[in-house]
Amino acid sequence: MNYFSELKGKKILVVGGSKGIGKDIALAFVQLGADVIITGRNEEDLRKTTAELIEFNSNCSYLIADIQNVNQIYNMIDQAYERLERIDILINNAGVNIPKPALEVTEEDWDQVLDTNLKGTFFCSQRAGKYMIEQGVSGKIINIVSQMAFVGYVKRAAYCSSKGGAVQLTKALAIEWADKQIKVNAVAPTFIETDFTKQMFDNKDFHKDVLSRIPLGELAKPNDVTGAVLFLASDMANFITGETIRVDGGWTAI
């Protein structure tokens, strides 16, 4: 059996797809024959990643959008539909964290984290879901959340709140759109080794503390998350909705 062969020709939108986890996800889909659009705020990063995607499939492109802004979200989703004519799979990967002690978190910090990680995820899903329903597409929405949705951690009050909310949002949309055959699921990684997190892990005490909480004894890599995403996107997961797969090396099993 050729697993994931059904993903060939699928129309994929990866929100937050220019680097890190999102880039790895986009590259995996395009190598399986899907048409992929990535989005983000940094055009230089988007151009570089799109150039890599085009090496596998010329029907790939990017869109610039800040998902803290609902009007930009709507415009981005609308443009994606114009280019792709439909969206089979939406990956909500864009996220931000501002690590600060709870007593130092400002309203601006809180709003930036919640607006990106929760509000942005909702309105991307709302707009894409609207098109899926109108076109009768049995689509899939996959939200990249975090194991911080299930456990607390220092300097993560806003982040934990946003990701916990995204898990509940995943369940709510899964129930509401089940009769439309739209499956909504999430993937919850632990800390991932990326360029973005490298600076954090240069702190030896932080690195040691994180590893002490992961029974498998190592950090996850982007492809560990991508494997879970591909599974949920594939036909093997057609009877799964409202679930969150934890890719955390056992952190939340303790």
Residues that are catalytic: 159
Give backbone dihedrals phi and psi of 105, rounded to 5 degrees, phi first: -70, 130
Is residue 141 within 8 A of residue 182, CB to CB? The reply is yes
Spatial CA neighbour of 191 closest among 244, 113, 109, 249 = 249
Cα-based angle 200, 203, 204 (whole degrees, multiple of 5): 130
The Cα-based distances of 247 to 59, 88, 179 in angstroms read 30, 24, 28
Is residue 227 within 8 A of residue 56, CB to CB? The reply is no
- Using N-to-C axis directions, what is the helix angle for 222-233 and 20-31, rounded to 10°? 50
Other C-beta atoms within 10 Å of 66: how many? 16
Give backbone dihedrals phi and psi of 62, rounded to 5 degrees, phi first: -135, 160
Q: Which two tokens stand for residue 176?
A: 């509401």
Spatial CA neighbour of 118 closest among 81, 176, 72, 160 = 160
- Local structure of residue 6 (DSSP, 8 states): G
Residues contacting 167, CB < 8 A, separation 6+: 145, 149, 150, 186, 188, 244
